[in-house]
Structures are given as structure tokens and as C-alpha cells.
Structure 1
């Protein structure tokens, strides 16, 4: 199959996959397609399945490519690969379906949706990354937080190392609160709605700025 045919076969299951992603997986040694006489990549069915395995491991288990590469090597050698817990997130048109932002979910539900163990969730709570109410229920957004923390943990970054991220977020939220406080103080429902919308917009801008500054800092690492 050509790279275009492989992309077309994978798109229904992985809507975000691109030709650049397929080339990147090749550069990382996860797949080695043959080359035609004209130099075009030609993929076998086995190549396509290796790509599907890698994309699934990244999407469902947030595994780094190093681990995926090791698992593929084990499978190539006939060795078994220990199954990992998977986040039981439902998808619709390629988008994750998570609890609504205002929803409250139990610790058990968070674990079921993310694949985290109760011990892992408790460690995140102790680090202040997720907070339960007096009934032991978490906000719906905790699901995305736990997923991100689990992904970072597989790279060797533990929850206690992420306290500075939480502290930074709290400081930024304080600044946003100062900006929207005049609107929120008004009694009209319309003003409060505008306050909430402005706070959400500012949060997105802060997130974009943080992401770009982080990318810049990483680029400077050489």
C-alpha cells in the first residue's frame, strides 16, 4: 500500500492522523516500509498493523514511543506483552466524551474513566492536583487532569513534581479573578454570564501563552 492508502485506512479510527505522523513513526523506527524503484514508500499489511498498534497505545494508554518500540520488539521476538489498563473514554467523531465541566464524579468513576488506580488518584489528591468535595466527589474536569498526570508519570514525572504547575495555575486564576470581578459583582444574570465567558477566554489565552513559552524553553535546551 502507498502511504496515502495507509492513511485512508487509518483515518476512520484515528481522525487526527496525518502523513507527517506516519513519516515520524518511521523516523522513530516503529515501522520500516519498503521503497519502490521510484523511491516511494510501500507498506505491507503488517506495517499498517504496527502503525495501528502504536497509535492505539498512544491514544488509549498514553505510552511514550520508547515503550511502544520496546513492546513491538517483544512482539517481533515472540515474547508476550503485559496488557495495560486503558482509559474507558468514549469517543464521538474522534473527540473524547468526558463528564461535563460542572458535573461531579466519584473516585471510582474517575478511575474507571482514566484507568488510574485508587492509590494513584490518592497521590494526585495529596499533591493538590485534584480536589474532592466533602462528599468525596470530584469535578468533571478532574478526568482530563488525571489523564494528563498519568501520561506524564509514564515519562518519570511524579505528581509531587507537578505542584509548581498547580501553584502557577492558581496564581493565574487569581489574576483572572481580579479582571472579571467587576462584572461578576453586578447583579444582572447577563453580566455574570459575560463574566464567566471572559474568564474562560482569559484562561484559554493563558494556556496558549504557557504552551508557547514552554515550547520556546524546550527549544533552547538544544
Structure 2
């Protein structure tokens, strides 16, 4: 094959995943956030720039150094955000997953993540929103009695207006699954207490950055707290699995 043919082939088959979506850089960073706003309402341009700094995406740069993105970049960002939000995968692991996808070593399906519910059943409100008990019941299939029991055991904490956070959906679902598996809901409060203590540590660690009170600082706090939450989640999973393994021997 001639060098010219090689060049044409490389254009037709881009080296980065996804290979079957346009790689023509036509979108400004604001247009990218608009594309993804429905699924990720709190996505900011600074987070996209952060992913770029970590080597997860490589937007085209114009002569004036402006970033331009393709539809393939949008799909790549969607993949990163879903792996972070829904499967609790840390950025270094996502980067390796993308490397494998780029090289054709694997496909987009990644079994074995923290997915205790079937695909398509994870309906949840947008992050940062507050929901009423009837909305929570509709989203989870839990009864009002189930929800009140979780409130009485301290697993759910309503605000002054009786509203609950968006995370209440997953708290109810996983608490219900563990209860059906035979665990006492009251014993799960220890998990919540541990989460509260670690959250306080994370917030304290980021106190200096929070005090800057600038858009860039706020985005950095969001990114770093999410990364630390992922690391703590994975550490807890490893410790729990190890302890169960030791006790079963």
C-alpha cells in the first residue's frame, strides 16, 4: 500500500474511539455542554477542560488556540461521565478503558461494575434537586411505610420542608435490596455514620479551595470531591470483600 493510501485510510478510520462517529471538529465548548445538558445538568466547561488536562479527551486546537470538539468527542465525554456517575469508576481506570477502546482491545460493554440493578432501571432525579416522599416512592417502588422506616432509622434525613435529596433514590433501592437479603436496616446506620464522617473529612480537606469562592475553584472542589468519594467507595468495597473472604475461610 502506498503512503498516500495509508494517509487516506487513517482519515477514514480515526485512531480514537468512537470510530463510527464524525471526528470533524465543529463544536465550541459551550455547544458541547448544551449537547450533554439534559443528561448532565451540572456539567461545566471547566470540567471538560479538566478531563482534557487528564488526557481523557483531545479537542482540536485552532490557530488562535480555541478548542473545537467533534460529535465523537461528545460521545467520549458521555462515556466518561456515565462511568463516573453510574459505575463509580475513577478517572485513571476510565483512561485505561478509553485506551483499550481506542486500540480496539474491547467494546463499549464493561461487565463487573457496581451495578446491582438491571440496565435501564436506574431512573433518578437530577443531581442537586429535592424530591417529596411520593416522588421517591414512585421512582423506587418502595411503600410509604418503607420510606418512613428508613427515615426513623436515620438512613434518610428530610430537610425542614420534608424533602429528600436525589441520592435518596439509590439509598432506598440499595437499602431495600439489603433488607430483602436479610440484613437489619438498623445495622446499616453504621454505614451512614461512616459516610457522614468521611464526608466531613473530604469537605475539611477542600476548605481552602472552597474559600476562594470563584467559578474555577468551585468546579475544582466538585471534581476533587468526586474523585475522593470514588476512592473511598472503592476502598470500602475492597475492605468489605477482604473481610468477608477472611471470615468465610
Please give the range of the TM-score, normalised by the shorter of the 2 chains: 0.5 to 0.7
CA change 1:115–1:192 in 2 (3 A) is: same
Given the alignment of the two structures, is residue 154 of structure 1 paired with residue 180 of structure 2, yes or no? yes
Secondary structure of 2:157's match?
coil
CA distance in 2, matches of 1:160, 1:100: 28
Q: Find 1:99's aligned residue among 117, 125, 132.
A: 125
What is the TM-score of this pair, normalised by structure 1?
0.57
After the TM superposition, which segments of 4 or more aligned residues of structure 1 sit over 6 Å from their partners? none
CA change 1:118–1:95 in 2 (3 A) is: closer
- 2:245 maps to 219
Conserved in 2, the CA contact under 8 Å of 1:127 and 1:160? yes
Q: Find 1:176's aligned residue among 189, 202, 224.
A: 202
CA distance in 1, matches of 2:215, 2:160: 28
- 1:186 maps to 212
Structure 2 unmatched runs, 5+: 1-115
Conserved in 2, the CA contact under 8 Å of 1:100 and 1:141? no
Deviations 1:185-212 (A, max 9, x none): 1131211211121111101110000001
Deviations 1:47-79 (A, max 9, x none): xxxxxxxxxxx857xxxxxxxxxxxxxxxxxxx
- 2:155 maps to 129
Aligned length: 133
Structure 1 unmatched runs, 5+: 1-57, 61-90
Conserved in 1, the CA contact under 8 Å of 2:175 and 2:185? yes
Moved more, 207-216 or 152-161: 152-161
What is the TM-score of this pair, normalised by structure 2?
0.51
Deviations 1:162-221 (A, max 9, x none): 111011101111111111111001131211211121111101110000001100001111
Higher relative contact order (CA 8 A, sep 6+): 2
Q: Cα offset for 1:95?
A: 6.6
Deviations 1:55-112 (A, max 9, x none): xxx857xxxxxxxxxxxxxxxxxxxxxxxxxxxxxx6xx4723111211111011111
Given the alignment of the two structures, is residue 120 of structure 1 paired with residue 146 of structure 2, yes or no? yes
CA distance in 2, matches of 1:104, 1:158: 27
- 2:232 maps to 206
CA RMSD of aligned residues (A): 1.7
Conserved in 1, the CA contact under 8 Å of 2:157 and 2:164? yes
